[in-house]
Structure 1
Amino acid sequence: MDHMPSDFEPCEGGCTCGHIRYQVKSDPMITHCCHCRWCQRQTGTAFALNALIEANRVTVLSGDIEELTIPSPSGQGQTIARCPKCRVAVWSNYHMGGLRERVRFLRVGSLDNPDRFPPDVHIFTSSKQPWVILPPDDQAVEEFYDVDNTWSEESLSRLETLDQAAGMEKPWRQQRRPAK
């Protein structure tokens, strides 16, 4: 059973025009600041900041989400949830070895208060823009990281619950590298 934390104060977000409004019911499992070239191209900026949250912990309050599947480096595709009016992306779903429908990569900038979910780790820093200076105490890796050594115990437990619900033969974190 998936229990929500009792001490978390729900937060909201949405698109630019206000058509899409959503509520987040827990802290993310982890927040990635991805500096890969693919994220740079898709966002039109230096990086993407995504909070990984179980899909059942993100509720659409108003508006209709438009989903568009686009190519990704893994060949598995990425589904982007956008507002059909202003076209702003509010989250994505990546393959993640079979967890696509169970994890939202929430676009932190679409939150009303994006300060709540700062990055836990900077990934693909081998391709970050040279003018982006990372804080010296932030965790950063050149490509991707070892999930077991990066995620908190609570987040690993939440991930295991997702793996079990999906009936995955090999847990996502034990797969060689998550596919985008």
Structure 2
Amino acid sequence: MIPYTGGCQCGQVRYEIHAEPLTLYLCHCKECQKQSSSAFGMSLTVPRDAVVIVQGKPKSWTRKSDNGREVNNLFCGDCGTRLFHERTYNPNTINVKAGTLDDTSWLCPVGNIWTRSAQSWVIISDQLLNYDGQPEDVRPLWGKWTQQHP
């Protein structure tokens, strides 16, 4: 399936991912709820150097996350679609907002983070890795992904 392709709603920004993802999880923090206009955001973590912008140029702004760390948010300047989150504390990976992929049929999250902020009606499966807040170590999320996607 490599490269994975995606882009914004209006088509001005397009990207390719030239490596297998490291993990996919749902984030229930208040910021992800706001940016997604939904109950959670989906984050597909991939190696930073595997993402190539092939059309357009995303705009960015930086905010503090719920745990106080800085996150650089990249989005289409025309339609506003959020495309990526770059965590300044981890420059080797980037979180692709998974709903922007052209083909989302294969996505299956392996975990949930910030469950303490989850909407009361969201069902959190105990079959997944679940964290009350930001996990100190993301390697278990990566490991569970690798088990499901050998």
Query: Normalising by the residue count of structure 2, what TM-score does the alignment of the two structures yield?
Result: 0.83
Within a 5 Å distance, the mapping from 1:14-93 to structure 2 comes to 14-93=7-86
Distance in 1 (CA, whole Å) between partners of 2:110 and 2:81 is 24
Q: Report the CA distance between 1:122 and its aligned residue.
A: 0.8
- How many Å separate the matches in 2 of 1:62 and 1:113? 18
Matched, 1:112 2:112: no
Are the aligned partners of 2:110 and 2:145 in contact in 1 as well (CA < 8 Å)?
A: no
Greater C-alpha radius of gyration: 1
Once residues 39 and 28 of structure 1 are traced to their aligned partners in structure 2, the CA distance between those partners, rounded to angstroms, is 20
Contact 2:35 2:82 in 1 (8 A): no
Can you give the 5+ residue segments of structure 1 that lack an aligned partner in the other structure? 1-7, 156-180
Matched with 2:138 is 147
Aligned match for 1:127, one of 103, 106, 117? 117
In the alignment, residue 87 of structure 2 is paired with which amino acid? Y
Bigger helix share: 1
Distance 1:128 1:147, change over 3 A: same
| AA of the residue aligned to 2:128 | D
Would the alpha carbon gap of residues 136 and 70 (structure 1) be closer, same or farther in structure 2, given more than 3 Å must change?
closer
Distance in 1 (alpha carbons) for counterparts of 2:24 and 2:85: 13
Separation in 1, partners of 2:93, 2:141 = 18
Code of the residue aligned with 2:48 in structure 1: it is A
Which is richer in strand?
Answer: 2
Aligned identity (percent) is 26
Number of corresponding residues:
145
TM, length-normalised to structure 1: 0.71
